[in-house]
Amino acid sequence: MSETTETSPDNDRGPVPPAEVVLISGASRGLGLAIATDAAERGVNVAAFARTVSAEMKELADDHPGRVHLGAVDITDTTATQAFVREVESRFGVVDALVNNAAIGQDSLHVHTSQERIAEILETNLTAPLLLARLVVRRMLGRGVRGRILNVTSICGQRGFPGLVAYSAAKGGMDAATRSLARELGGRVLVNAVAPGFFASEMSAVLGSTQLDAIRRRTPSGQMTTPADVLPVVRMLLWEQTNINGETVVVDGGGSI
Ligand SMILES: NC(=O)c1ccc[n+]([C@@H]2O[C@H](COP(=O)([O-])OP(=O)(O)OC[C@H]3O[C@@H](n4cnc5c(N)ncnc54)[C@H](OP(=O)(O)O)[C@@H]3O)[C@@H](O)[C@H]2O)c1
């Protein structure tokens, strides 16, 4: 990238304010639902989508009347994501935080993974989150709003795991994009990632008890990660004044050290 296209930092700009309108992808279950619930309980406006609006999402909206906007949106459908972001803006104002959480998993050795499946994993877990970040950042910058992008990546972006080659490529790509986008945005928008270790969810349900035991044995804390372990980092990166920018924060009990 040419240095001339980099946004120059303005040291008089001051800290990025805490997020007020948070858009969370993949919020129908698992970590995304936990993040959406935590954000709604904090009292901010939450926009949450997944391909299917789950009963838990509806319950969240019922529990926080007027503050949770739901959508059945496929992140790979750019027309639908744009329409959703416009809907959210007309209801809550400009989105000033994006949590790029939606992703699909993988459970196949690279030699056995079809070209179509590799393309699907890369589109869902890398291309679509980059396009969503571009959309949200353009709208923030266009309105002079400062904000935060938080990419949910994985220790697989940093360490090797069999059966997760395309998935790891996408997560490592998001970690790399996090650093470069943070540089481009020059502090107007803080861009960070959180990289959890394996935690129980629909995505990791493919892991057998032998693999889970091995992960636990390799983890110095002796504890598997849980979504609740990830929430303090999410809160810090969305709401605290920290000057953390362009970083990937690993939450895995030390399993990857
Ligand atoms: N579980 C782990 O061990 C682990 C470890 C490290 C990192 N992570 C990361 O943590 C994040 C959450 O994972 P999780 O374990 O909570 O997964 P999960 O339970 O499978 O949830 C994934 C979420 O993404 C949504 N989603 C999937 N494809 C989508 C699409 N095309 N468009 C819109 N939404 C889509 C799903 O809803 P629909 O199916 O209804 O669309 C669901 O809400 C992911 O980024 C994952 O890579 C997970």
**pLDDT tens digits, one per residue of 214-257:** 889 999 999 999 999 999 999 999 999 999 999 999 999 999 99
Strand-pair partners of 196 = 251
**Contact, 133 vs 147, CB < 8 A?**
no
Q: What is the pLDDT of residue 158?
A: 96
Q: Is 152 a catalytic residue?
A: no
**Contact, 164 vs 170, CB < 8 A?**
no
Mean pLDDT (whole number) for 164-174 = 98
Q: What is the pLDDT of residue 6?
A: 55
Which of 5-9, 92-96, 197-201, 229-233 is least confident? 5-9
pLDDT above 90 for 184: yes
Asked whether residue 204 is assigned to any structural domain, the reply reads: yes
CATH of the domain at 24: 3.40.50.720
Atom of ligand 1 nearest to the CA of 53: 40
Ligand 1: lining residues by beta carbon, under 6 Å: 25-32, 50-52, 74-76, 101-104, 124, 152, 154, 196, 198-199, 201-204
Asked whether residue 23 is assigned to any structural domain, the reply reads: yes
CA distances to 169, 191, 248 from 244, in Å: 24, 8, 10
Name the E strands within the chain: 21-25, 45-50, 68-72, 97-100, 147-152, 189-196, 248-251
Q: What angle do CA 220, 234, 167 make, to 5 degrees?
A: 70
Mean pLDDT (the chain, rounded): 94
pLDDT band at 13 (very low <50, low <70, confident <90, very high): confident
pLDDT above 70 for 7: no
Asked whether residue 1 is assigned to any structural domain, the reply reads: no
Q: How do residues 45-88 score in pLDDT, each as one tens digit?
A: 999 999 999 999 999 999 999 999 999 999 999 999 999 999 99
Phi-psi sector, 93: left (phi>0), alpha (psi -120 to 50), beta: left
Classify residue 18 by burial, with Cβ atoms within 10 Å: 0-12, 13-18, 19+.
middle
Q: How many domains does the chain have?
A: 1
Query: What's the Rg (C-alpha) of the chain?
Result: 18
Q: Tokens representing 71?
A: 């959508």
Q: What is the pLDDT of residue 213?
A: 86
Asked whether residue 6 is assigned to any structural domain, the reply reads: no
**Contact, 48 vs 27, CB < 8 A?**
yes
Question: How far apart, in whole angstroms, are the C-alpha atoms of residue 20 and residue 11?
Answer: 23
**Contact, 35 vs 56, CB < 8 A?**
no
Asked whether residue 53 is assigned to any structural domain, the reply reads: yes
Number of residues written out for the chain: 257
Atom of ligand 1 nearest to the CA of 105: 47
Percent of the chain clearing pLDDT 70 (strictly above)? 95
Domain with 225, as residue range(s), is: 19-251
Q: What is the pLDDT of residue 49?
A: 98
Using alpha carbons, select from 37, 36, 16, 52 the residue that is nearest to residue 148. Answer: 16
Active-site choice (49, 167, 198, 199): 167
Percent of the chain clearing pLDDT 90 (strictly above)? 89
Q: How far is the CA of 201 from the centre of ligand 1 (A)?
A: 9
pLDDT band at 211 (very low <50, low <70, confident <90, very high): confident
Using alpha carbons, select from 95, 96, 48, 93 the residue that is nearest to residue 72. Answer: 48
